[in-house]
Amino acid sequence: MKASEVFREGLLRDQVVVVTGGGSGIGLAIARECGRLGAKLALGARKAERLGAAAAELAGEGIEVFHAPLDIRQRDAVEAWVAQVCERFGRIDVLVNNAGGQFPSAAADISAKGWQAVIDTNLNGTFHMSQVVGKRMIAAGGGRIISIVANMWRGFPGMAHTGAARAGVVNLTKTLALEWAKHGVLVNAVAPGIIRSSGLDTYPDFVRSQIETEVPKHIPLKRLGTEDDVAWAVVYLAGPSGRYVTGETVCVDGGQAHWGTVFPI
């Protein structure tokens, strides 16, 4: 198994880490880093074929992995999936709410169905996972919940649906952190900026071209982020280093939250 470039060997040894949307992109990078640090992984995503390939890749590195299809929008499906994980591993120590999805569109052009689909996945799905797993963590005496959100602090032109959903998750993070602190459950979020990952492949060609060539000009650090940049922030919050951090959102965006833009108005 390859070693982490940042963290000491065995940092998450025998921790059970759940990663939703763990079959590709940022989710897979998070899962791989946690696994290389000794964690046992549970991966869930809607696309079973991609999920199976990711699990096989990780298992090939010597990482213990459970995987099964998961639709976080369906509460019954979430409860059944979490029960499977706990039957396999006995508990869940860390939940990474990474599953999500959106599409670029002017707000005036988003259909009711398109709006609902993004809200159901990015906000409602995150709540379902957090509540179902959170109850088990409360009963067990603690745990960590880390949600992946987005850089939407100054509005999100072209992405009104996901901007609204992710802002809701940030507030949910603060609320759960306060309600569950007495139970030892720490709840945080990580807000990636523009990350070079497989997620960019879902956008139209002209959007990807703009992101690759123009967006770095508007980022203080003058580059796109990497999947590892996000994974390392998650591990910081999941490991001993994050034991006194709760209710916070860590921006991993090269300073973009403070300056620059993504899409022209």
HEC readout, 133-162: HHHHHHHHCCEEEEEECCCCECECCCEHHH
pTM over 0.85, yes/no: yes
Helix 25-36 vs helix 48-59: crossing angle, to nearest 10: 30
Residue 98 has pLDDT above 80, yes or no: yes
The strand pairing partners of 147, in sequence order, are 97, 189
The strand pairing partners of 55, in sequence order, are none
- Buried-exposed string 1-38: b where 16+ CB fall within 10 A, e elsewhere: eeebeebeeebbeebbbbbbbbbbbbbbbbbbbbbbbb
Residue 103 has pLDDT above 90, yes or no: no
Class of domain 16-252 as given by CATH: alpha beta
Residue 265 has pLDDT above 70, yes or no: no
Mind listing the pLDDT tens digit for each residue in 125-171? 999 999 999 999 999 999 999 999 999 998 888 899 999 999 999 99
pLDDT value for 263: 63
Mean predicted lDDT score pLDDT of the chain: 93
With bands split at pLDDT 50, 70 and 90, how would you rate the model's confidence at 264?
low
